[in-house]
Chain A
Amino acid sequence: MHPGYNDRIWQHFEKPVNVGGLDPAVGRVGTGYAGDAAHGELVRMQVRVNRAGAVETTRFKAQGPVALIACGSLAAQQLVAGHGPEPDAAWLGETLALAPADRGAALLVEDAWREALAEARGRAGEVCDVTGTEHPGTGE
């Protein structure tokens, strides 16, 4: 509990899930960064996907405001859940009931995981949506 933040944000900030890193050399791992390192605000999202492009493992690290850490944690949790909506900025903002001033953190996290997922799936050579459902390839 914190007087300035709701319970969901505070819970993810205080006890973030899937914190850490993935070795890019092991499996189909993609890494995405967003933020501005020079200004001390950076989020790193990493995903490992299976042959079909479905997310198997996620890890994140973030330095910055409470909302950035909370969004990173929630996104990392949701990406690996394998069901439900993808954790885009709108979903993160709504799920955490982010204040307007904190919405930028959700955008950074979305940018980071999209970059990570694109890189990982590039390695998997598959075309899938975030939940891992395979789509027919376009043949391109």
Chain B
Amino acid sequence: MSDLRFPVYLDYAATTPLDHRVAAVMREWLGEGAGFGNPASDHAWGRAAAAAVEHAREQVAALIGAEPREIVWTSGATEADNLAIQGAVRFHAPEGGHVVTARTEHRAVLDTCRALEREGFRVTYLVPDRGSVIPAEQVRRALAPDTVLVSLMHVNNETGAVQEIAAIGEVCREAGVRLHVDAAQSAGKLPLDVRRLAVDYLSLSAHKVYGPKGAGALYVRQRPRAGLAPLIHGGGHERGMRSGTLATHQIVGMGEAFRIAAREMERDRHHSEALMRRLREGLGRIEAVTVNAEGAERVPWILSCTFPGVGGGSLLAELSQRVAVASGAACSSATREPSYVLRALGLTDHEAESSLRYSLGRFSRRADVETAVAETARVVARLRALSPLWEEREHASRVQ
């Protein structure tokens, strides 16, 4: 859809457009042709759909170095997070009931942990430093004799900070504790090889990588066996780990999206790096702007900035007329609370409210970045000219 009334899109961390090549593959499995069979049916229609599903499973597994049978289809990363955390904790309940995670995790992880706490499980929420990274040593110190699971994300969706999951995996493996990693923001964008990482469960999303919404997967390690109790019971699909008729068209879309990502990851990365340099340089010219998680290793397609002297959502309200970015007000605009992720990094409510997240992707253009820089600078300057606090700050700096 190219509608001139729509603003420039720089919100790829929220979702990405469907790649036209993915849409073409999905279309083959929609309509009245051979694609409508139930993959669980034992006849030609079913077998055709099942073959397509298994092909997609190979494509998804290949991207992360997994075996196809280690991939369980889900409705998305949120379900994968739920399945991993609840499924692991329930499966390993005889060994203990303690989970370690971080305050900067996605709500799909945090809310699942809260639900487990209400059932009597114990959860430790690690607080990262302002760089938004949890060092492996911090994880080690949080482990208790009854810890059964550590759940930490690979790339933070708000700041783009990259966790050291290799080192954290080693700590977990040594202690005999399973590790779940939410890789919704990194799979298909950063190299990920579960053969080299001590990761037991890995959540994957299709729509963050130019695939369809409503499709995701959970990697569940076979050797050593991670163990998983199902959440959804039914026909015993997905080897009993997730029942429900498979959505063939969604799954083939995810497979194709992951196949393309494996091939084009480097190109996508270079594309984002070039645009990010320009974005950082442009936004960096705005007085007093700060980059969140500045000290951490960050991916080159997410940038979270705080703009003093503006606030309360007015920056995003005006900017979003021309540029679609995300506010520092949580991942869901349904709540007007300041971002808990930015607050966990030590930002005040006010700083979190005057923060924006810019995220780039495969179809971002140089002109989009130029528009974002120019519009941000214009709106920040206009709102600062209205601000009595900024006036005082300017006055104080002149006096000094």
Contact = CB atoms under 8 A, between A and B. Distances in A.
Given A38-B350, A40-B389, A64 B318 contact: no
A99 B391 CA distance: 29
B350 A14 contact: no
Interface in A4-63: 4-5, 13-14, 16, 19, 21, 33, 37-44, 61-63
Q: Report the 9 A-B pairs with minimum CB-CB distance, sorted nearest first.
A: A40-B350, A65-B312, A63-B387, A40-B311, A61-B388, A64-B312, A44-B388, A66-B314, A66-B317
Interface centre among B311, B313, B336, B354 (most CB of A within 10 A): B311
B300 interface: no
A69 interface: yes
A41 B387 contact: no
* Interface residue SS majority, chain B: helix
Contacts of B336: 101
Contacts, number: 67
Contact of A65 (B314, B386, B389): B314
Contacts of B312: 40-41, 63-66, 68
A43 B386 CA distance: 10
A126 B145 CA distance: 76
Interface in A69-98: 69
B194 interface: no
B72 interface: no
A10 B314 CA distance: 11
**Which size bracket describes the interface of A in this complex?**
20 to 34
A44 B392 CA distance: 12
Given A19-B386, A63-B388, A39 B349 contact: yes
A2 interface: yes
B91 interface: no
B158 interface: no
